[in-house]
Structure 1
């Protein structure tokens, strides 16, 4: 029941919808999201704009860190780009919790090209946890 409520809540993310990001899976401290790179996400070199791939990683980070139903807000995120991708490439971002306490959470996010299973980026993010619950159990 909690998982369904979380998925319903995450549907409110209009920016993720704009980019075509889909939540594939969510568990406590974990999220898997996907997106296909489109022509309007390309930079002037013809590869995916870093902002598009960062947005995918950020969405996985947000879903994983809010997976407990308690509001978590990002305070920092660092992204490392390993490989460029082109239009039509389906990407998946997987966020995993490394550390959690009542106030802070640390997450590692990996981005993969699903066709070749290539690692294209790694990110790390930290959240501040508020005391407010946004879903009812």
Structure 2
């Protein structure tokens, strides 16, 4: 089954919008669970697409000695989305100014990580 490119490319963001709508206007556990599932579906879709579309050269981690300070790859891929999810829940469900500041910092950290990741996964410009 094929979708038009416009729908296919924007589907994860539609998941995020519906998730935000559910969290903003409803306060029941089934809605929280549904919003969480939609958010996870959007994250999985974006990470899978990113992995498939990578044009940079991946290092052969399996053949090298494992660095103790390195995060597992699945955690590394999903960490910015986790930061953003925690920040959004804090913003939508609390009234504390200090917590909202922490949420803002988490959003900036998530955005920074995602932008660096997008930039680093592009093919480097060559002179030829």
For normalisation by structure 1, the TM-score amounts to: 0.27
Greater RCO, CA 8 A, separation 6+: 1
For normalisation by structure 2, the TM-score amounts to: 0.28
